[in-house]
Structure 1
Amino acid sequence: MTHTLSRRNVLALSGATLATPAFAQNTAAWSAIEAKAKGQTVYFNAWGGAENINAYIRWAATEVEKRFGVKVEHVKVTDTADVVKRVRNEKAAGKLAGTVDLVWINGENFLAMKREGLLFGPFAERLPAYAKVDVQGKPTTRIDFSEPVDGMEAPWGMAQLTFMADRKRTPLPPQNLAELQTFAKAHPGRVTYPRPPNFHGTTFVKQLLVDVNANRDALYKPVTPEAFAKATAPLWAALDQLHPHLWRAGKQFPQNAEAMRQMLADGELHLALTFNPNDAANEIAAKRLPDSVTSYQFSSGTIGNTHFVAIPVNASAPEGAQVFANFLLGAEAQARKADIALWGDPTVLALDKLSPAERARFAAKPLPGQVEKSAPAIPEPHGSWVDPLEKEWTRRYGA
């Protein structure tokens, strides 16, 4: 049985959500939103840990203020869960004009906000730019960690677990879990992964979880103790087998993917990982990695998802937030974001829906470090699996 989730199953996950969307509200309604947005200040709460991403947000903010009269303030956050908590507390206190107008979000944080009624909308599929989103080829634009989006967040970019290796040291990197186990044993101390609950570390653990479960049905439903115990038993067995051969014998783990990337550059590790397929190419262009580094994904597929922007239910500037979200979704902003020299974040748009001029913005020659052959994207397990996975990993290996 194949370990990749079939397209049929992906469609089934979302039920009616993948029906033909009611693309874009009418011109008069959108014009009214733009008129009301003029003069508003949008407080965009987004991760602030990468200067290239911060620079991109500054560019987008400048353009939106210039073109639409909407001011955007980037509120830099380290953990989106803190933003969710703030919105929750403000709503509980009856604060009708909250401090968050737009938030960069997906996964368990979206699930929490959706379940608790903390989101404004549905708005996403009414944005004019949504008409060109690739809802068929990229179904995770409408399914967030197996939770139907239902128009409550607008897609912003794509991501997929990707490995990096230096061809000079590792001409034949491992292509699946079994090969990774063999490779780690043959190269003791040269393989590792970030310590969960770091996002990349948790994603690596989820990758192994889907790899060891031939039947993944339970992973795409809300977690139960029984399902968790059954699905994770082979995961813990695989990690118990892998850990003794890892960097520092699996007793310590790097704090994040950036640290791993530097260890790869220094020759301390043979493999690194990222959630951006263009990350290595970006680092090579910036001369932080040698051009002998290549990117690849497990041949049977790796965990992939979409990241989004959402508007809290008590946003002070919901119209301005929609105008900014629509700009971020447009071909100009998406092409700039996809430019490896600027960010290298893959687009959510369907290129065949774009005009020739819009498509030309995305035309670029392949660069060293890019994934040469993309593997299938395996949808994220349901967001409710994240917390118990991280807690049990910490109990077993985090001491």
Structure 2
Amino acid sequence: MNYLGLALACVLPTVALADPDPSDWTSVLDEARGQTVYWNAWGGSTATNDFIAWVGDRVAEDYGVTLEHVKLSDTADAVTRVLTEKQAGQDDDGAIDMIWINGSNFAAMKDAGLLFGPFAESLPNWAYVDTDGKTVQTDFTVPVEGYESPWAMAQVVFMYDTADMAPLGDMNALLDWAVTHPGRFTYPQPPDFLGTTFLKQALVDLTDDTSVLSQPATDETYAEVTEPLWLWLDELTPNLWRQGQAYPQTGPAQLQLIADGEVDLAISFSPGEASTAIANGQLPDTVRTFVLDKGTIGNASFVAIPYNSGSKAGAMVVADFLMSPEAQARAQDPNVLGYGTVLDMAKLSDDERTVFDGLDLGVATLTPAELGTVQAEPHPSWMTRIADDWQLRFGNQ
């Protein structure tokens, strides 16, 4: 277990506060007015930062809530901040009011009682959420139970330049291509979330029976199941960009390598990212996307509220607005973000559906049918161990 996980395990669970009551929405709106919400969220994308700024403008206009984007490079930094406040006895008016979170960070905070809730399924716009077709009630196999609210859907795709290569069917085909075209592929350096996502996608694709990945990793299952991954990475690494001696630090840095003609292939967790980047002039219009034959990992992006937030009402207002048809349609627009929606179109009004139907998702965005099978995220324990082992094996070369 890493240091953060060990420290969180030592914290006694805290009973979630019931006030403000998310089911009394009128009172929530009254209390939220005038509050400032410090949203700790990844700050590595200009498009995402601009979207969050727009959300801030809208919630200020409609609800009198001030939204401050605290830009993170690693979500674990926010988790550590809440943990530190808990250990110091700062149980009210903490520094963080909302976190863009999922996976192991959510599981750790939920287990340690560091989250406010349950609140998500009491928000008004939850009524529009697709709870049948989308994974919005589990997070990396962990039941959400209302302690985080979904706001975007993601699925792994690979962006490639059609001027230089064709789609690849699986990770072994990717390895063969990389060996034949050395230096033309890379991935962000773990613990960047996109870098760890690449490792997870490789593990899922190389594992014959993925049901074991839905359970917590044990020493025995971890060693057996990950052995093919390490053998595969041993072959892949010397054929990466700069012989695997250096890696781009973020997803946007990957895009720049394609734009500069240094690589031909990159991973993304947003099916619309390539179309957005083409529309913004960040990528050439010859770039397209593909998924693997067995399908690719998909999940939801969530927001959660720390137990000691002093602006819980304001944070719930922001979380609710993020699920609104207005915000969801804007996020799905490839000229803005190109994110998948968490909403069920059948639950919307005719006018609301018309907005979504009118979106041009872009030349590089696959249709839902083309995206194929959505593979489940492994249990968080797999990724924590794999990220640590990757650092030991490859991170210090």
107, 110, 119: which one aligns with 1:123: 119
Please provide the CA RMSD for this pair. Answer: 1.6
Which letter maps to 1:339?
Answer: D
> Is it true that 1:336 corresponds to 2:299 in the alignment?
no
Structure 1 residues 102 and 268: alpha-carbon distance in aligned structure 2, compared to 1, 3 A threshold? same
Deviation at 1:306? Answer: 0.7
- Whole-angstrom distance in 2 between the partners of 1:41 and 1:188: 50
Q: Is the 8 A contact 2:150 2:300 kept in 1?
A: yes
Which letter maps to 1:60?
Answer: V
TM-score by length of 2: 0.90
- Whole-angstrom distance in 2 between the partners of 1:342 and 1:248: 32
Identity %: 47
Q: Is the 8 A contact 1:261 1:273 kept in 2?
A: no
Deviation at 1:366? Answer: 4.1
1:168 maps to 163
The range that moved more, 239-248 or 179-188, is 239-248
- Whole-angstrom distance in 2 between the partners of 1:76 and 1:245: 33
> Is it true that 1:64 corresponds to 2:59 in the alignment?
yes
The range that moved more, 242-251 or 116-125, is 242-251
Deviation at 1:317? Answer: 1.1
Q: Is the 8 A contact 1:133 1:348 kept in 2?
A: yes
The aligned runs of 1:39-54 (5 Å cut-off) are 39-54=34-49
> Is it true that 1:77 corresponds to 2:72 in the alignment?
yes
- Whole-angstrom distance in 2 between the partners of 1:115 and 1:225: 21
Structure 1 residues 53 and 256: alpha-carbon distance in aligned structure 2, compared to 1, 3 A threshold? closer
154, 164, 182: which one aligns with 1:188: 182
Secondary structure of the residue aligned to 1:306 is strand
193, 196, 210: which one aligns with 1:199: 193
Aligned length: 372
1:9 maps to none
> Is it true that 1:392 corresponds to 2:389 in the alignment?
yes
Which letter maps to 2:374?
Answer: A
Q: Is the 8 A contact 1:25 1:128 kept in 2?
A: no
> Is it true that 1:261 corresponds to 2:258 in the alignment?
no
TM-score by length of 1: 0.89
Secondary structure of the residue aligned to 1:234 is helix
217, 230, 237: which one aligns with 1:243: 237
2:15 maps to none
Deviation at 1:134? Answer: 1.0
- Whole-angstrom distance in 1 between the partners of 2:195 and 2:40: 23
The aligned runs of 1:173-322 (5 Å cut-off) are 173-322=167-316
> Is it true that 1:379 corresponds to 2:380 in the alignment?
no
1:326 maps to 320
Deviation at 1:247? Answer: 2.3
Deviation at 1:59? Answer: 1.5
Deviation at 1:150? Answer: 0.7
- Whole-angstrom distance in 1 between the partners of 2:350 and 2:284: 35
Structure 1 residues 248 and 73: alpha-carbon distance in aligned structure 2, compared to 1, 3 A threshold? closer
1:114 maps to 110
Deviation at 1:25? Answer: 6.9
Offset from partner CA, 1:317-351 (integer Å, 9 cap, x none): 11111111111111011111111111212111111
5+ residue gaps in structure 1? 1-23
5+ residue gaps in structure 2? 1-20
Secondary structure of the residue aligned to 1:362 is helix
The range that moved more, 322-331 or 250-259, is 250-259
Deviation at 1:165? Answer: 1.1
- Whole-angstrom distance in 2 between the partners of 1:393 and 1:366: 35
Structure 1 residues 289 and 60: alpha-carbon distance in aligned structure 2, compared to 1, 3 A threshold? same
Structure 1 residues 55 and 258: alpha-carbon distance in aligned structure 2, compared to 1, 3 A threshold? closer
Secondary structure of the residue aligned to 1:190 is coil
132, 145, 161: which one aligns with 1:136: 132
Deviation at 1:188? Answer: 1.9
Secondary structure of the residue aligned to 2:201 is helix
Deviation at 1:258? Answer: 2.1
